A and B are shown apart, each in its own frame.
Chain A
Amino acid sequence: MTNDSVSATGGATTAAETQWDLWEVFTQEGEGAPHEHAGSVHATTAEHAMQNARDVYARRGKVVSLWVVPTGAIVASAPSDAGPLFDPGNDKAYRHPQFYKTPRGARGL
């Protein structure tokens, strides 16, 4: 994102400043662990977002990998969609092992 108000006034910062693009940050805390959403950073480029994400979300030794994703690229479900999207998963008890009867004495199932 360019910042016309700053460059046009030769660096005056009293003018309203345009905010840099928002990036969502995902961190992997240890080999084999999933990447989890940590928060967001503002940055001008992907490389810049990566550096900011490192400084903000990886100051302690645990993080082994970072993802940064432009916030606008994320498609999220809306709370109002929760019913149609997830209800079909709620009424299928036969998708769980507890649904099935095991003959007495059978082991290792």
Chain B
Amino acid sequence: MTDQKSPASAPAAGSPDDAARVAEFEARIAQGESIESKDWMPERYRKQLVRMMSQHAHSEIVGMLPEGNWITRAPSLRRKMVLLAKVQDEAGHGLYIYCGTETLGVGREELVDQLLTGKAKYSSIFNYPTLTWADIGVIGWFVDGAAIVNQTMLAKASFGPYARAMVRICKEENFHKKQGYESVATLANGTPEQRAMVQDAVNRWWWPSLMMFGPSDKDSPNSAELIRWRVKRDTNDTLRQRFVDLTVPQARAVNLTLPDPDLRYNEQTEHWEFGEIDWKEFQEVISGNGPCNRERLAARRKAHEDGAWVREAAEAYAAKRQAVSAA
């Protein structure tokens, strides 16, 4: 989802991208033109896009797991229908983005294989467990809220297929956040037990949600290049601040507290200042040692294997139809 850990590397000396073509490409970007998959682009631009888009697509797919976990236990038919629709949307969003990477010549099967073998990265947030029903509301409010901040920026990305997928996703995702906040507000106005449950969920999800925007600018090797090429318009820290500024008043409106003693409004900057993020925890989670990394991958692999018969049946049916029409 956000660009997470990846080594910075300048284009190698003697790179095949000749300077004149790069200059022409950068001039197009500077004029705000949209780059399409058949256009010439520096190899490094293509690589960065494949890296970002595949991480983003994987995040949508893995993101179905923590929420899917609660579909059978939703407390009412209304909440169950909403959650089913949301999880189905996440599958669709993953497919929109995989479809964008395919225009760059990277097949979906290749990316899915990287995900199933544990080689691919996805958003750190989905490696945390959903312990109670309140987590589902808080995920919609925080996690989808953070994703919208990021994706609204990406809808203006210089690469056309990525930007168009983001526009489509942003249109659909507003309901994800609103249903989450509605659920949170309902619990916050409920019994003392319900209030305690939702406050506990807020306490557990707040910091991991801030980590979704990726490393701090000073430790984000990809940012400058991505901004120069207008894949991104804002840095990780700018987006994180935007999310905090949006969310603090929403928490106050339903009388929930955010678990940060350093949170205070700065009248001069008109921003909410917040405490230091535990970057050690972030590094642990993206290195595969979060609370649910293994469980998520195992669940994804099982779903893929359990679905094998459906793929086989579809192929057998297609082959039979072909044989009939050939006869």
A44 contacts B109, C-beta separation under 8 Å: no
Proximity bits, B297-327, A CB within 8 Å = 1, else 0 = 0000000110011011011111101000000
B102 contacts A56, C-beta separation under 8 Å: no
CB distance from B155 to the nearest CB of A (A): 15
The interface on chain B, measured as residues whose beta carbon lies within 8 A of the other chain's beta carbons, has a size of 32
Among A13, A22, A79, contact of B38 (Cβ-Cβ < 8 Å): A79
Proximity bits, A1-31, B CB within 8 Å = 1, else 0 = 1110011000111001111101000000000
B321 contacts A45, C-beta separation under 8 Å: yes
Cα distance, A34 to B318, chains bound together (Å): 31
The interface on chain A, measured as residues whose beta carbon lies within 8 A of the other chain's beta carbons, has a size of 30
Interface residues of A in 54-68 (CB under 8 A from B): 55-57, 59-60
Cα distance, A79 to B89, chains bound together (Å): 34
A40 contacts B102, C-beta separation under 8 Å: yes
| Known contacts A56-B92, A79-B38; A3 and B102 CB within 8 A of each other | no
A11 contacts B321, C-beta separation under 8 Å: no
B172 within 8 A of A: yes
B315 contacts A6, C-beta separation under 8 Å: yes
B89 contacts A59, C-beta separation under 8 Å: yes
A11 contacts B108, C-beta separation under 8 Å: no
| Known contacts A60-B172, A78-B38, A79-B36; A44 and B312 CB within 8 A of each other | no
**Chain B residues engaging chain A, CB cutoff 8 angstroms:** 36, 38-40, 85, 88-89, 92, 95-96, 99, 102, 107-109, 113, 165, 168, 172, 304-305, 308-309, 311-312, 314-319, 321
